[in-house]
Structure 1
Amino acid sequence: MNEFYEKFRNRTYFDNHGEAIANHLDKFYKSDEITVFHEMVSPDFHLDVYLINSAKHSFNILLTSGMSLLEMTVPDGVENPETYTFAELMILLPKAIEFGKIFPGENENDWIIGMLKETARFPHHYDTWLAIGHTLQATTEMEPYSGDTDYVGLIILPSVTFDEEFTEIKTTEETINIYSVFPLYKDELEYKIANGYNALLDKLIEKNGKEVFDNKRGNLLA
Structure 2
Amino acid sequence: MTSGMSDRPMHLPAEATPDDGLPSYLELAILLPSTWPMPASGEPLGEAFEDENTYWPIRWLKIMARFPHEYHTWLGYGHTIPNGEDAEPFADHTGLGCMLLLPALSLPEEFQELVISPAKTIHFLNLWPLYRSEMELKLAAGTDALLDRLEAYGITDVVDPDRPNTVPEPA
TM-score tier (shorter): 0.7 to 0.9
The letter of the residue matching 2:105 is: V
The letter of the residue matching 2:76 is: A
| Aligned residues of 1:83 and 1:175 also touching (Cα < 8 A) | no
| Aligned residues of 2:30 and 2:127 also touching (Cα < 8 A) | yes
SS at match of 2:126: strand
Report what 1:7 is aligned to.
Answer: none
> Which aligned pairs between 1:143-222 and structure 2 lie closer than 5 A?
143-172=88-117, 173-222=119-168
CA RMSD of aligned residues (A): 2.0
> Which aligned pairs between 1:22-171 and structure 2 lie closer than 5 A?
63-80=1-18, 84-100=23-39, 101-102=44-45, 105-107=49-51, 108-171=53-116
How does the TM-score come out when normalised to structure 1?
A: 0.66
SS at match of 2:133: helix
* % identical aligned pairs: 36
Map Cα deviations across residues 9-68 of structure 1 (whole Å, 9 max, x no partner): xxxxxxxxxxxxxxxxxxxxxxxxxxxxxxxxxxxxxxxxxxxxxxxxxxxxxx111211
Deviation for aligned residue 1:168: 1.1
The letter of the residue matching 1:106 is: E
SS at match of 2:2: strand
71 and 109 in structure 1: CA distance in 2 versus 1, 3 angstrom threshold? same
Map Cα deviations across residues 122-170 of structure 1 (whole Å, 9 max, x no partner): 1111111111111001111221222243211111011222234222122
| Aligned residues of 1:99 and 1:110 also touching (Cα < 8 A) | no
Deviation for aligned residue 1:79: 4.2
Map Cα deviations across residues 52-110 of structure 1 (whole Å, 9 max, x no partner): xxxxxxxxxxx111211221111133342675001111111111002243289413311
SS at match of 1:115: helix
77 and 65 in structure 1: CA distance in 2 versus 1, 3 angstrom threshold? same
221 and 83 in structure 1: CA distance in 2 versus 1, 3 angstrom threshold? closer
Higher relative contact order (CA 8 A, sep 6+): 2
| Number of aligned residues | 160
SS at match of 1:92: coil
Structure 2 unmatched ranges of 5 or more: none
